Amino acid sequence: MNMNRVISSLYMILKMLLRRRIVLLLIVIVPAVFLFVVEFTTPERIIPFRLASLKDVVFVEISQKGTSFVFLSNACAGFLVSFIALNLIQRSSSVNHRLIICGYHPVELLLSHLLAVIIVICAIALYMGILFSAFYPIKHKLVFISGIMLMGFVYGCYGLLVGSIIKGELEGVLIIALMANIDAGWLQNPIFYAGATNKIIIQYLPAYYPSQTTIIGAFTDYSALLPAVYSLLYALVLMLLAMILFLNTMKIKKS
């Protein structure tokens, strides 16, 4: 593997993203809109719920506005990163084909896409951490931002996986939007989760452990190490599947 080619490919990907102003606008505007809606529509009613990912039975009492800020931040980060990852894979398909003919290895191209997604994840997580703290106090800002990064990493790998399977843009966006909306934007809401009848289903979804990490970091002094580790493992499994499918596709195209 040639790192110079990886860096060159990464540079081209980032340059392509910067040229698409709508992507930059989405990254800046969508999180702000989500949080402003919560600020002006959600009550301050205190709601007790259990931190499900901890081994001990721990209940916390947080305002409905605070929990809404957290789970909508997760939903927003998950959707944005997965959409960008999907878009990168789909739009770069023909370019990747030509680069492979010119001597690039599929692993180099996949690594450059993954690095681009990680840069986007870091930018979104830092922005949302600053934005969130302007609306609501955070106990442990670094843990909260790390949770948002983990959410982005899990859903970024999910977006790469969907992009490696689905070639149609509309179909890919629908699959991304449905999962992010149902999982991160609905089922991972602590208020909904507390009364859910089949919690085991929710716990196997991509956003479960990242959501738990952000909630623990935002509102408590408990350790978020366990859900963070499980988030990484979940993301690595998705990344491995995406890598296998991507490499297989590139080999077929090359032949």
Pairing relationship of beta strands 59-63 and 46-50 according to DSSP bridges: antiparallel
pTM equals 0.88
What is the mean pLDDT of the segment spanning 152-171? Answer: 88
Domain span at residue 129?
3-254
Residue 208's closest CA among 187, 177, 232?
Answer: 187
Of 99, 81, 122, the C-alpha closest to 9 is 99
* Cβ neighbours of residue 16 closer than 8 Å, sequence gap 6 or more: 91, 92
The predicted-structure confidence for 39-96, as pLDDT tens digits, reads as follows: 998 888 888 877 877 777 777 888 888 888 888 888 899 999 998 888 888 877 777 7
pLDDT tens digits, 23-35: 788 888 989 998 9
Domains held by the chain: number: 1
| Residue 84 near residue 119, CB atoms below 8 Å | no
Is a pLDDT exceeding 90 seen at residue 105?
Answer: no
